[in-house]
Chains A and B, each alone.
Chain A
Amino acid sequence: MTWIHPLSAEAEATASVLGGKASGLVVLHRLGLPVPPAFVIGTAACRAFLRDGRLPGGLCAELAAAVSDLEAATRRRLGGPERPLAVSVRSGAGVSMPGMMSTILNLGLTTEATAGLAAETGDLRFALDSRLRFLSSFASAVAGQAPEDLEAVAREGGGEETRLAAAIRGVEALFLERTGEPVPDDAMRQLELAIRAVFSSWDTPRARTYRELHDIPHDLGTAVTVQAMVFGNRDDHSGTGVAFSRDPNTGERSPFGDVLFGRQGEDVVSGRSATRPLAELAGREPAVWAGLLEAVNQLEEHFRDVCHVEFTFEAGRLWLLQVRPGGLVGRAAVRVAVDLADEGVVSRREALLRVRPGHLRYAHTPRMENAGTLDVLTRGLGACPGVATGRVATTADQAARMSADGPVILMRPHTSPLDMHGLAAAAGVVTARGGPASHAAVVARAMGKPAVVGAADLTVDAVAACVRAGGRTFPEGTLVTVDGTGGQVVVGSPRIVTAATDSHLRRLLEWADEVSGGDSGRDEVERLTAAHAVLNARRDHDPPHQEAAG
Chain B
Amino acid sequence: MTHLADGKPMDGRPADVPSSPQTTSTELLVLHTLRCIGFSGLARVSEATGLPEPDAESELIDLAVAGLVTRVPGDFGGWGLTEAGRAADARWICEELDAAGARRAVTEAYDDFLVLNPEVLDLCTAWQMRSVDGVAAPNDHTDPAYDSRVLGRFTDLDRRAGAVCARLSAALPRFQRYRTRLTEALARVRSGALDYVTDDLASYHSVWFQLHEDLLVTLGIPRH
Contacts and interface: CB of A to CB of B under 8 A. Distances in A.
B157 A205 contact: yes
Contact of A329 (B125, B134, B157): B134
A72 interface: no
Contacts of A212: 149, 152-153
Contacts of A419: 38
Contacts of B134: 327, 329, 356, 358
A414 B223 contact: yes
B213 interface: yes
A99 to B, nearest CB: 8
B137 A361 contact: yes
Contact of A213 (B38, B76, B149): B149
B111 A213 contact: no
Contact of A209 (B132, B153, B203): B153
Interface string B169-194: 00000000000000000000000000
Contact of B76 (A152, A359, A421): A421
Contact of B125 (A327, A436, A447): A436
A421 B39 contact: yes
A330 B134 CA distance: 10
Interface size range on B against A: 35 or more
Contacts of B78: 421
The prevalent SS among residues of A at the interface is: helix
Interface string B18-33: 0000000000000000
Contacts of A361: 132, 135, 137
A213 B129 contact: no
A425 interface: yes
A155 B221 CA distance: 13
A362 B118 CA distance: 26
B87 interface: no
B142 interface: no
B45 to A, nearest CB: 13
A441 B125 contact: yes
Contacts of B68: none
Contacts of A358: 132-135, 137
Interface stretch (B5-13, B58-66, B94-102, B204-212): B204-212
Contact of B223 (A214, A327, A416, A443): A416
Interface string B120-163: 01111110110111111110000000000110110011001000
B114 interface: yes
A417 B134 CA distance: 32
Given A439-B212, A446-B128, A396 B160 contact: no
A385 interface: yes
Interface stretch (A126-134, A143-151, A235-243): A143-151
Given A358-B133, A400-B76, A446-B199, A206 B122 contact: yes
Given A205-B156, A205-B157, A356 B133 contact: yes
A149 B115 CA distance: 11
A148 B124 contact: no
A419 B137 CA distance: 26
B49 interface: no
B36 interface: yes
B198 A446 contact: yes
A205 B119 contact: yes
B221 A209 contact: no
A5 interface: no
Given A210-B122, A329-B136, 20 more contacts: A148-B114, A209-B123, A209-B153, A212-B149, A213-B149, A213-B150, A361-B135, A385-B138, A425-B76, A437-B121, A439-B205, A439-B212, A442-B198, A443-B205, A443-B209, A445-B129, A446-B128, A446-B198, A446-B199, A446-B205
Interface of A: 144, 146, 148-149, 151-152, 155, 178, 205-206, 209-210, 212-214, 327, 329-330, 356-359, 361-362, 385, 396, 400, 414, 416-421, 425, 433, 436-439, 441-443, 445-447
6 contacts: A205-B157, A209-B122, A213-B126, A437-B124, A442-B121, A445-B129
